[in-house]
Amino acid sequence: MNFNFSDDQALFSESLQKYLSDNVTTKSIREFWTDNSHFLSSRWKELEELGFITANIDESNGGMSLDLITIALLVEKIGYSGMPEPIAEQLFLANPLINEFSSQINHNEYLAVAHDLAPHPNFLEDSKQLIFFQDQNPYLIDIEKLKIRSLESNDPSRSIYDFEANNLDDATKLESKKNLYEQVQNYGMVMSSALLLGLSKRIIDSAKLYTCDREQFGKPIGSFQAVKHMLADVAIEIEFTNALVYRAASSIQKNCSNATMHAAQAKFQSIKACEIASKNGLQAHGAMGYTWEMDLHIFIRKGWSYKGIWGSRPFVENLVFNNLKKDLPKLGATYTFMDNND
Amino acid sequence: MLLLKKETQNLIKMKIEFTESQNQFRSEIRDWFSKNVPSKPLASFDTKEGFEEHREWEKTLNQGNWSMVTWPTEYGGRALNLIEWLIFEEEYYRANAPARVNQNGVFLLGPTLMEYGTDDQKSKFLSAMAEGDHIWSQGWSEPNAGSDMAAIRATAVRNNDTFIINGQKTWSSRAAFADWTFGLFRSDPESERHRGLSFILVPLDQKGVTVRPIPQLDGEPGFAEIYFDNVEVDASCMIGDEGQGWEIAMATAGFERGLMLRSPARFQETASRLLKLYFDNQDVLSPSIASRVTHCWMQAEAYALNIYQCASKVMAGDKIGSESSLSKVYWSNLDHEMHQIAMDILGISSELKNEYLNNAASWIKGYMFSYSGPIYAGTNEIQKNIISERLLGMPRK
């Protein structure tokens, strides 16, 4: 039992963090907002050259076969940066499918994925193909064969679409022994949890800086207990999200029978953390927090989207509740790390 | 350019599962508890009779070498690491074993003695503690030194080989029936705040000591006031140096021991009992109860995972300090919410003190106790100051 990141896991994610803080500035995000139909292919290329895009592609196909815990750590950093490019989607949704169908899909190109939990694929126009589910069965289709319509997300960093296949015969049904519908659902829940965790950390950091700087009544507003305790409440919820997210990533990696349950728990708590971070974080910025000019909403908006997609609160709560009902005899402290496969 | 080559990957990767030997250890404890836990629940340790029954349980634990499991082997412990300790606690709560009447001694004073005590002090106090002959109470707070502990005024005046102690301590847990107390006393009368305090052990049967039990919300004297009227204590009862008291007290309140007092297992077991209570009564309950019960179960598990994560950090050599304030607020609010929901479910029987249907009586007791969580071990308001100032770096003034 060891909950620490290895040196390599930490080093790898720090190097991504360094890249992101140097390159993904809030200015560059706002520039993207003025024309948000395509992401920066130059940035995608750079991240590909640094090895991040294919980090969990099988080694036999030129990737590094990295484990999902490391990938979740990368996605947390991506969340913190607010980067519009769909690297999180590529790592968590596309790459596992690319590994499974490596002969049918290109290894290092962006691949859009649609699912009932997130039916409007992000940056669909930047992908050559789409994987979608019809009656929970997976299909692969070329974008040209789709009728697509751009939708406006409340988060201008997301470029989302409605799509319709003219004819299901244009798509290839993907055959697998696994339940890919459930797999993508679980990966999606953990991906969005890791993003929300990173976003929450960014929001509290911003609030902390602002309240130490902004003065009223002759001193920083961060010295007032009402403000301190508001942010302490945020810090508490964030603290109790970390381990849930990495336990969920580990359970998926190990193919644990409780993976869905663990992913749902991670999502539930990360929604809670991001919600209180957004509410109290914005409150700590006062009226400035409610302006378009302040960068804070770049992160809050992203949170709004990922709270709803890849497992909304009622969806994940139902998953957990139904599992508890089913497993009532197997509850309690001695079952935390139990795998029903054992 | 690849930043990370596969072959350079660290051997100690995150691994969220128990090892074979940890599982084996778990069965060993489970086996012992199944044979030794009293079949009938003991009376409350805040009654005279119950206190002595719990003292007997401490002796039973000690005979099985399960009393001071985290103590080094040289002091008769098993030198468990933190993960093993968490396993031990999970089994302890699973077995529904009696509460630890000597937790002030075994978990707080014991480790403090090992770190700061002399050889004589160790040999005098540690084995008596382990054997249940000395049950310890805490003597920190005073009427005017609560959250502001540095405002302590009780004095210990050095007179050759003795201290003469005067003053008053209050909210002293277990003091109504305990044998000894440990606490902070002002040994330098000129001193102020954190300086000039000494950490001194006082036998409660000493001449000049008056213990006035304070009944808690359940009517039982879980804590007491202690009056010191020219109490003479041998200087060998001081731990560390004169004036070093604050430093030692802070170490006593330190994380590892804090962790040991509030095992996640306790809250996880409550959460499971709450789920059972819900499912036994669900036909007459509203959907919001299902939702709240689910939230609590998830929070109890989140707490457990967080503690395993903290334990991993400590075992890797990291120091955990102010982080324990995050958990303090979390578990105390969770414990209250779980018991509040139980009261909501119990409805008309939530006022019946002796009702055994749905374990009502036990929920009521736990419900009352859950009100103390946000207060003891440093109020949640103090914890939030610590979180914002020391973890977030917000300005003190």
ipTM for the assembly:
0.95
Q: Could you report the per-residue pLDDT of A160-193, keeping only the tens digit for each?
A: 999 998 888 999 999 999 999 999 999 999 999 9
Q: Which of B298, B318, B381 should we substitute to test contact with A (largest number of A Cβ atoms within 10 Å)?
A: B298
Confidence of residue B260 (pLDDT cuts 50, 70, 90): low
Q: Could you report the per-residue pLDDT of B56-105, keeping only the tens digit for each?
A: 999 999 999 999 999 999 998 999 998 999 999 999 999 999 999 998 99
Spatial separation of the C-alpha atoms in residues A82 and A116, rounded to whole Å: 24
Handedness of CA A185, A187, A188, A189 (dihedral sign): positive
Confidence of residue B6 (pLDDT cuts 50, 70, 90): very low
Query: Which position among B256, B269, B301, B355 bears the catalytic label?
Result: B256
Q: Could you report the per-residue pLDDT of B105-117, keeping only the tens digit for each?
A: 998 899 999 999 9
Chain B positions in Cβ-Cβ contact with residue A49 (cut-off 8 Å): 1
Domain CATH code at residue B98: 1.10.540.10
Q: Give the model's pLDDT for residue B349.
A: 92
In angstroms, the Cα distances linking A213 to A220, A222, A232, A277 are: 6, 8, 18, 19
Min Cα–Cα distance to chain B from A131, Å: 29
Q: Could you report the per-residue pLDDT of B294-322, keeping only the tens digit for each?
A: 999 999 999 999 999 999 988 888 887 88
Whether residue A232 and residue B316 make contact (CB cut-off 8 A), yes or no, is no
| Range B344-370 average pLDDT | 93
Whether residue A334 and residue B16 make contact (CB cut-off 8 A), yes or no, is no
Domain CATH code at residue B231: 2.40.110.10
Which residue on chain B is closest to A241 by alpha carbon?
B302
Is B204 within the bounds of a domain?
yes
User: Residue B250 phi/psi, 5° resolution?
Assistant: -65, -40
**Which of B329, B383, B394 is opposite residue A208, by nearest beta carbon?**
B394
**Which of B16, B294, B311 is opposite residue A337, by nearest beta carbon?**
B16
The 3-state DSSP class for residue B169 equals strand
Q: Which of B2, B13, B86 should we substitute to test contact with A (largest number of A Cβ atoms within 10 Å)?
A: B13
Is B379 within the bounds of a domain?
yes
Whether residue A336 and residue B8 make contact (CB cut-off 8 A), yes or no, is no
Min Cα–Cα distance to chain B from A22, Å: 17
Q: Which of A240, A269, A276 should we substitute to test contact with B (largest number of B Cβ atoms within 10 Å)?
A: A240
Is B228 within the bounds of a domain?
yes
Chain A positions in Cβ-Cβ contact with residue B279 (cut-off 8 Å): 325, 328
Higher confidence at residue B10 or residue A324? A324
Q: Give the model's pLDDT for residue B254.
A: 64
- The rounded percent of chain A whose pLDDT value lies above 90 is 89
State yes or no: pLDDT of B12 exceeds 80. no
State yes or no: pLDDT of B339 exceeds 90. yes
Whether residue B2 and residue A64 make contact (CB cut-off 8 A), yes or no, is yes
Is B9 within the bounds of a domain?
no
Q: Could you report the per-residue pLDDT of B118-176, keeping only the tens digit for each?
A: 999 999 999 999 999 999 999 999 999 998 999 999 999 999 999 999 999 999 999 99
Q: Give the model's pLDDT for residue A208.
A: 98
Is B377 within the bounds of a domain?
yes
Whether residue B16 and residue A67 make contact (CB cut-off 8 A), yes or no, is no
Whether residue A228 and residue B393 make contact (CB cut-off 8 A), yes or no, is no
Domain CATH code at residue B333: 1.20.140.10
Is B256 annotated in the active site? yes
State yes or no: pLDDT of B5 exceeds 70. no
Q: Which of B301, B319, B332 should we substitute to test contact with A (largest number of A Cβ atoms within 10 Å)?
A: B301
**Which of B6, B11, B16 is opposite residue A250, by nearest beta carbon?**
B16
| Range B224-235 average pLDDT | 97
Confidence of residue B7 (pLDDT cuts 50, 70, 90): very low
Confidence of residue B14 (pLDDT cuts 50, 70, 90): confident
Between β-strands B209-214 and B223-234, what pairing exists: parallel, antiparallel or unpaired? Answer: antiparallel
Residues 6+ apart with CB under 8 A from A242: A197, B306, B309
Q: Could you report the per-residue pLDDT of A198-227, keeping only the tens digit for each?
A: 999 999 999 999 999 999 999 999 999 999
Q: Which of A11, A46, A228 should we substitute to test contact with B (largest number of B Cβ atoms within 10 Å)?
A: A228
Q: Could you report the per-residue pLDDT of B70-81, keeping only the tens digit for each?
A: 999 999 899 999
Residues 6+ apart with CB under 8 A from A213: A220
Whether residue A1 and residue B312 make contact (CB cut-off 8 A), yes or no, is yes
Chain B positions in Cβ-Cβ contact with residue A69 (cut-off 8 Å): 13-14
Same structural domain for residues B267 and B232?
Answer: no
Q: Give the model's pLDDT for residue B257.
A: 52
Min Cα–Cα distance to chain A from B367, Å: 19
Chain B positions in Cβ-Cβ contact with residue A311 (cut-off 8 Å): none
**Which of A1, A50, A51 is opposite residue B18, by nearest beta carbon?**
A1
Q: Could you report the per-residue pLDDT of A22-60, keeping only the tens digit for each?
A: 999 999 999 999 988 899 999 999 999 999 999 999 999
In angstroms, the Cα distances linking B95 to B28, B98, B104, B261 are: 13, 9, 22, 17
Average of per-residue pLDDT values in chain A:
95
User: Residue B211 phi/psi, 5° resolution?
Assistant: -105, 125
**Which of B22, B276, B291 is opposite residue A1, by nearest beta carbon?**
B22
Whether residue A6 and residue B14 make contact (CB cut-off 8 A), yes or no, is yes
Q: Give the model's pLDDT for residue B258.
A: 58
**Which of B1, B10, B387 is opposite residue A7, by nearest beta carbon?**
B10
**Which of A1, A51, A268 is opposite residue B17, by nearest beta carbon?**
A1
Which residue on chain A is closest to B1 by alpha carbon?
A50
Whether residue A49 and residue B1 make contact (CB cut-off 8 A), yes or no, is yes
Spatial separation of the C-alpha atoms in residues B383 and B252, rounded to whole Å: 17
Which of these three, B84, B106, B130, is where a domain ends?
Answer: B130
Same structural domain for residues B237 and B339?
Answer: no
Min Cα–Cα distance to chain A from B34, Å: 15
Min Cα–Cα distance to chain A from B97, Å: 14
Report the domain count for chain B. Answer: 3
Of the CA atoms within 13 Å of residue B62, those in its CB half-sphere come to 19
Same structural domain for residues B123 and B151?
Answer: no
Confidence of residue B1 (pLDDT cuts 50, 70, 90): very low
Is B19 within the bounds of a domain?
no
Is B92 within the bounds of a domain?
yes
| Topology adopted by domain A7-173 | Butyryl-Coa Dehydrogenase, subunit A; domain 1 (1.10.540)
Q: Could you report the per-residue pLDDT of A233-249, keeping only the tens digit for each?
A: 999 999 999 999 999 99
Confidence of residue A254 (pLDDT cuts 50, 70, 90): very high
Confidence of residue B9 (pLDDT cuts 50, 70, 90): very low
Higher confidence at residue A36 or residue A65? A65
Helix ranges (H only) for chain B are 20-36, 48-63, 82-94, 103, 110-116, 119-130, 245-252, 255-261, 264-281, 287-315, 323-346, 360-370, 380-386
For chain A, the domains span: 7-173, 180-327
The residues facing A133 across adjacent strands are A138
Whether residue A236 and residue B271 make contact (CB cut-off 8 A), yes or no, is no
Place of tokens 């973890």: B391
Confidence of residue B183 (pLDDT cuts 50, 70, 90): very high
Q: Give the model's pLDDT for residue B355.
A: 86
Confidence of residue A339 (pLDDT cuts 50, 70, 90): confident
Whether residue A11 and residue B301 make contact (CB cut-off 8 A), yes or no, is no
Same structural domain for residues B285 and B231?
Answer: no
Chain B positions in Cβ-Cβ contact with residue A284 (cut-off 8 Å): none
Higher confidence at residue A55 or residue B256? A55
Q: Give the model's pLDDT for residue A335.
A: 87
CA neighbor of A261 nearest in space, from A274, A275, A244, A273: A244
User: Residue A337 phi/psi, 5° resolution?
Assistant: -110, 15
Higher confidence at residue A148 or residue A338? A148
- The rounded percent of chain B whose pLDDT value lies above 70 is 95
In angstroms, the Cα distances linking B135 to B37, B96, B185, B227 are: 20, 22, 20, 19
- The rounded percent of chain B whose pLDDT value lies above 90 is 83
Same structural domain for residues B73 and B182?
Answer: no
A180-327 in CATH: which number?
1.20.140.10
Chain A positions in Cβ-Cβ contact with residue B31 (cut-off 8 Å): none
Min Cα–Cα distance to chain B from A133, Å: 30
Whether residue B305 and residue A6 make contact (CB cut-off 8 A), yes or no, is no
* Domain range for B331: 254-391
The 3-state DSSP class for residue A176 equals coil
Spatial separation of the C-alpha atoms in residues B95 and B322, rounded to whole Å: 32
Q: Give the model's pLDDT for residue B261.
A: 56
Chain B positions in Cβ-Cβ contact with residue A337 (cut-off 8 Å): 16-18
Spatial separation of the C-alpha atoms in residues B240 and B187, rounded to whole Å: 13
Whether residue B3 and residue A15 make contact (CB cut-off 8 A), yes or no, is yes
Q: Give the model's pLDDT for residue A341.
A: 60
Q: Could you report the per-residue pLDDT of A297-316, keeping only the tens digit for each?
A: 999 999 999 999 999 999 99
Whether residue A9 and residue B389 make contact (CB cut-off 8 A), yes or no, is no
Min Cα–Cα distance to chain B from A289, Å: 19
Whether residue A231 and residue B93 make contact (CB cut-off 8 A), yes or no, is no
Please check whether residue A1 is in contact with residue B19, taking contact to mean a CB–CB distance below 8 angstroms.
yes
Same structural domain for residues B181 and B157?
Answer: yes
